[in-house]
């Protein structure tokens, strides 16, 4: 009997040594949770045994229980490195479309050759579908799907509107608008450019030019003319205020001199020029009062002729030739300061390529693209269990069992779920100092049981030698 007791002690000590050694070996494993060997005494009894003199039958390993307390965080430069602060697990699947989920705390994720977020074993990180505004469309495990980062951001969007705010210097020298030539900087006072897009996402350069005409003052008002080109080719505005002299064919822009809003045009100024091919092109009139404020309707809108071959003919084949473009002048001013553009925006988009990925503390995955857009793609699935120690370990992952209970899904930072830290990894929750002390303790325990076995052997030998 004493042999069996000592042997059970040695076996238990060996399990303790193995458990401690495994903890030490995984001290650098991301997301690893240390284990603890737990023991129970063995006590066999029967109806006819004398309880008062009964000796125990040794020790048995009751469980090797994992400890799920938080590990420290290590910060990285990779936004796909994810760490959970608090309770919860990431959910992964072996193959896209599978519902056989595994759970992990190891957030060493990366992109595979198809743009899916996967772990080191090639398992696909699961996420909840999200709406355009980033809110979760569902938090059910049955709706989770592998998170994929698309290569491009949607279809291009043609520019329909350009917004410009600027100051035109009141001290600039007047020029003759009839001599305006977009290729000659001496014929205009100022210019600014912005990139716009056609229906295929092709970029074009819209340039607006500003000319302070001679004899620009009318009573207490000052005038400027604005012309435009796209890729260096003139484009003309459409305006109900355009006036054509039926005798000379001269095109003028009418304006309300006293700005009384009565709709009566009491004066005109020539707002046209002739290019090198003899074609007449039009511009728009901007008018300011004696305090430098714009006197027209804010914003002043300038709509161009169609940009295709039936109009300005500045777009390539295959594009939407009916594309219209409107410039909105938002509060232009004429002060005694340098030419300054304070707003220059357009609402078109080209095809975007992925330039960055970001994941916030709620697990929302967003991709930023080269065209300046940001898309909400998915929300990282979080899962927790009523009994974490009931999980079955499979390498660095865990599987649900009857003892762990069913997986409970939810969003990070909501309820009892922990938050997600991007560009960080949870290190093993192993305290190396404690493990080394436990190693010494298990070794002593092993030696003590070995000594008991040795003494039992000596006693047996003594008995056998009795004559």
CATH topology of domain 161-346: Tick-borne Encephalitis virus Glycoprotein; domain 1 (2.60.98)
Report the pLDDT value the prediction gives residue 52, as an integer from 0 to 100. 63
Q: Alpha-carbon dihedral of residues 383, 386, 392, 395, nearest 10 degrees?
A: 40
C-alpha 82/C-alpha 109 separation (Å) is 7
Between 30-44, 246-260, 414-428, 435-449, the lowest mean confidence (pLDDT) is in 246-260
> 438 phi and psi, to 5 degrees?
-65, -35
Task: Say whether pLDDT at 305 is over 90.
Answer: no
Mean of the pLDDT values across residues 50-72? 82
Mean of the pLDDT values across residues 258-277? 57
Report the pLDDT value the prediction gives residue 70, as an integer from 0 to 100. 95
Contact 197, 362 (CB under 8 A): no
Between 185-189, 221-225, 264-268, the lowest mean confidence (pLDDT) is in 264-268
* Segment of 119-128, 220-229, 300-309 carrying the highest mean pLDDT: 119-128
Task: Say whether pLDDT at 115 is over 90.
Answer: yes
Q: What is the DSSP string of 46-77?
A: -TTS-GGG-----EEEEEEEE--PPPPEEE-S
Between 78-92, 245-259, 403-417, 431-445, the lowest mean confidence (pLDDT) is in 245-259
Task: Say whether pLDDT at 432 is over 90.
Answer: yes
- Other C-beta atoms closer than 10 Å to the C-beta of 115 total 13
Task: Say whether pLDDT at 259 is over 50.
Answer: no
Query: Going along 131-279, which residue ranges are E strands?
Result: 145-146, 152-153, 161-167, 190-197, 203-211, 222-230, 233-235, 237-238, 242-244, 251-255, 267-270, 272-274
Residue ranges per structural domain of the chain: 2-69+433-464, 74-149+379-426, 161-346
* Average predicted confidence (pLDDT) for the chain: 86
> Which tokens belong to 281?
């092109």
Quote the pTM value.
Answer: 0.71
Q: Which residue has the higher pLDDT, 467 or 187?
A: 187
pLDDT band at 218 (very low <50, low <70, confident <90, very high): low
Report the pLDDT value the prediction gives residue 217, as an integer from 0 to 100. 56
pLDDT band at 258 (very low <50, low <70, confident <90, very high): very low
pLDDT band at 247 (very low <50, low <70, confident <90, very high): low
CA distances from 316 to 309, 311, 439 (A): 9, 13, 76
Task: Say whether pLDDT at 263 is over 60.
Answer: no
Report the pLDDT value the prediction gives residue 238, as an integer from 0 to 100. 66
Task: Say whether pLDDT at 372 is over 70.
Answer: yes
Task: Say whether pLDDT at 429 is over 70.
Answer: yes
pLDDT tens digits for 323-354? 989 998 888 999 999 999 999 999 999 988 88
Task: Say whether pLDDT at 156 is over 50.
Answer: yes
Query: With pLDDT > 70 as the criterion, what percentage of the chain qualifies?
Result: 88
């Amino acid at each position: 009997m004493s042999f069996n007791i000592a042997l059970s002690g040695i076996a238990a000590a060996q399990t303790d040594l193995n458990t401690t050694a495994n903890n030490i070996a995984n001290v650098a494993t991301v997301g690893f949770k240390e284990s603890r060997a737990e023991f129970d005494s063995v006590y066999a009894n029967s109806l006819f045994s004398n309880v008062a003199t009964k000796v125990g039958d040794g020790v048995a390993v009751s469980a090797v229980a994992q400890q799920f307390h938080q590990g420290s965080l290590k910060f990285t430069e990779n936004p796909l490195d994810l760490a959970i602060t608090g309770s919860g697990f990431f959910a992964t699947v072996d193959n896209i479309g599978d519902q056989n989920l595994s759970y992990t705390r190891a957030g060493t994720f990366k992109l595979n050759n198809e743009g899916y977020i996967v772990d080191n074993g090639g398992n696909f990180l699961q996420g909840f579908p999200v709406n355009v505004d980033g809110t979760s469309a569902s938090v059910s495990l049955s709706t989770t799907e592998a998170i994929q980062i698309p290569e491009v951001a949607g279809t291009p969007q043609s520019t329909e509107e350009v917004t410009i705010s600027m100051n035109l210097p009141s001290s600039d020298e007047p020029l003759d608008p009839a001599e305006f030539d977009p290729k000659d900087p001496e014929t205009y006072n100022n210019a600014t450019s912005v990139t716009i897009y056609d229906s295929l996402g092709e970029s074009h350069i819209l340039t607006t030019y500003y000319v302070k005409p001679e004899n620009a003052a009318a009573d207490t008002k000052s005038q400027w003319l604005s012309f435009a080109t796209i890729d260096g080719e003139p484009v003309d505005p459409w305006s109900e205020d355009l006036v054509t002299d039926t005798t000379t064919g001269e095109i003028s822009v009418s304006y309300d001199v006293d700005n009384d809003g009565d709709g009566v045009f009491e004066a005109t100024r020539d707002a046209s020029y002739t290019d090198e091919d003899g074609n007449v092109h039009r511009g728009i009139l901007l008018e300011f009062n004696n305090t430098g404020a714009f006197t027209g309707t804010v914003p002043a809108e300038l709509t161009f002729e169609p940009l295709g071959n039936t109009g300005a003919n500045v777009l390539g084949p295959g594009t939407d030739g009916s594309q219209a473009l409107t410039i909105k002048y938002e509060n232009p001013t004429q002060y005694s300061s340098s030419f300054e553009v304070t707003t220059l925006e357009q609402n078109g988009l080209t095809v975007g390529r992925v330039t960055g990925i970001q994941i916030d503390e709620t697990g929302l995955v967003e991709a930023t693209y080269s065209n300046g857009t940001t898309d909400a793609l998915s929300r990282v699935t979080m899962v927790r269990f009523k009994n974490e120690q009931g999980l079955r370990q499979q390498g660095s992952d865990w599987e649900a069992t009857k003892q762990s209970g069913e997986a409970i899904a939810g969003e990070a930072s909501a309820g009892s779920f922990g938050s997600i830290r991007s560009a960080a990894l949870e290190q093993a929750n192993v305290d190396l100092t404690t493990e080394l002390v436990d190693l010494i303790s298990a070794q002593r325990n092993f030696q003590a049981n070995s000594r008991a076995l040795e003494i039992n052997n000596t006693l047996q030998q003594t008995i056998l030698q009795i004559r």
